[in-house]
Homo-oligomer: A and B are copies of this chain.
Amino acid sequence: MEFTVSYASFTTAVSDINKIISSKSVIPILSGIKIEANEYGLKLTGSNSDIFIERTIPLLKSGEKVVDIKEFGSVVVLSKYLNGIVKKLPNDICIKLGRNDSITIKSGDIETKLNGFNANDYPKLPEMDRNTKIEIPFGKLTEAIKQTAFAVSKSEAKPVLTGVKMEFEENKLICTATDSHRLARREVTIESKTTESFVVPSTSLSELTHLKEADSSIVEISYTNNFIVFGTAMSSLYSRLIEGVYPNTGSLVPTESKALITMNTQVLIEGMDRACVFSTEWKHNNIQLEIVDDATIKISSNSTEVGMIEELQKIIHIEGQNDIQMSFDGRFVLDALKRIPEENVTIRFDGLMKPIVIQPQNDSTCLHLISPVRSY
């Protein structure tokens, strides 16, 4: 293997992949980046326990030559040192495979030698049936992920709840996440005939949202029994799937409500944020929401230890009862509100100890369900 690559293309790709690699992997070769020089350019692969990322540096970019390959081949080198060195080099980088899987990296007057691993020992990526693929614009996909993935369970007690359920129905993708105290759901319209359902680790989806792709670029989703692949023009992200039966959440959403209020999203966020200042004081970040009358809600929080905070906010519109008082985990309410870009939100109350439903006004594709906490 021998090639010369432009400084910018190589350092960007190495640095992006390095971010997901743990330098403390129990399998030493997984602390490495696999570099492969072939007829299409360079392919770099890195992994953590959940995902593999494959990134291609093509021979040409916008007509300019960025990779010049003298000899095909592949090797795995420790990502930490490769990344540490290449970003400090002065200009274009020439890499040559030597004896015992070591590589020589040359740039200007600087010569570095890094020990490596035999590329044949690197785990094989699962073979995907690229025919069964689903296409979705990157921006739509990542928006649905961001609006739901925050609500997954942080505990490993029920592994299936640490993932986002992605249900593909005809022309529809529904993302659902819940930690059994709250639930976030988002529906997006896509062009697809596939009916499939996966539970994808939220950590993998978070890496996916970090890929630097244009919102309009198309992501191709393909899958096997255990793996799902999100492919864009330059990168492929392979994630394992979570096995297990995802709970049936459809029946949780209340169909009726005792009260429905419409509030300004931003004003409500600011008020909840203030009420959450004492939040480290409780296990459940306890804050109280009270419909005072037809025009006013009160947001309050108090702790005998620290003090109390209280404010009144205007209700834009109200239907139903005007005397409801309930306690919630303030962080959960804030998490949901912050994912709603619309100007106004509606909150539906179904009665004491029943979850509330938060939605953008006039938009049923996005839904947040939050269970109340008992207030003492």
A residues with CB within 8 A of B? 78, 81, 84-85, 88-90, 102, 109-115, 270-271, 273-274, 277-278, 305-313
Contact = CB atoms under 8 A, between A and B. Distances in A.
A273 B309 CA distance: 51
Contact of A312 (B88, B109, B312): B109
Given A85-B277, A270-B88, A306 B111 contact: no
A310 B104 CA distance: 11
Contacts of A102: 307
Given A88-B273, A110-B311, 14 more contacts: A78-B306, A84-B277, A85-B309, A88-B270, A88-B274, A89-B274, A90-B270, A110-B271, A111-B309, A111-B310, A111-B311, A112-B274, A113-B307, A114-B307
Given A109-B311, A110-B274, A312-B109, A306 B84 contact: no
Contact of A274 (B78, B85, B113): B85
Instruction: Specify which of A90, A110, A270 lies most central, judged by the most chain B CB atoms within 10 Å of its CB.
Output: A110
17 contacts: A81-B278, A81-B307, A85-B277, A85-B309, A88-B273, A88-B277, A89-B274, A90-B270, A102-B307, A109-B312, A111-B310, A111-B311, A112-B274, A112-B308, A112-B310, A113-B307, A115-B307
A351 to B, nearest CB: 28
In the complex, the count of this chain's copies comes to 2
Contacts of A110: 271, 274, 309-311
A112 B271 CA distance: 12
Nearest to A278: B81
Interface of A is mostly: mixed
A78 B84 CA distance: 43
A107 to B, nearest CB: 10
Contacts of A271: 110
A118 to B, nearest CB: 16
Contacts of A78: 306
A90 B273 CA distance: 12
Contacts of A311: 109-111
A200 B199 CA distance: 57
A249 to B, nearest CB: 34
A102 B303 CA distance: 13
A345 to B, nearest CB: 20
Contacts of A90: 270
Given A81-B278, A109-B311, A278-B81, A115 B306 contact: yes
A100 to B, nearest CB: 11
A113 B301 CA distance: 10
Nearest to A108: B311
Contacts of A109: 311-313
B307 A277 contact: no
Nearest to A309: B112
Nearest to A102: B307
Contact of A305 (B115, B273, B277): B115
Instruction: Specify which of A102, A114, A271, A273 lies most central, judged by the most chain B CB atoms within 10 Å of its CB.
Output: A114
A306 B84 CA distance: 12
Contacts of A278: 81
Contacts of A312: 109
A7 to B, nearest CB: 14
Nearest to A85: B277
Nearest to A90: B270
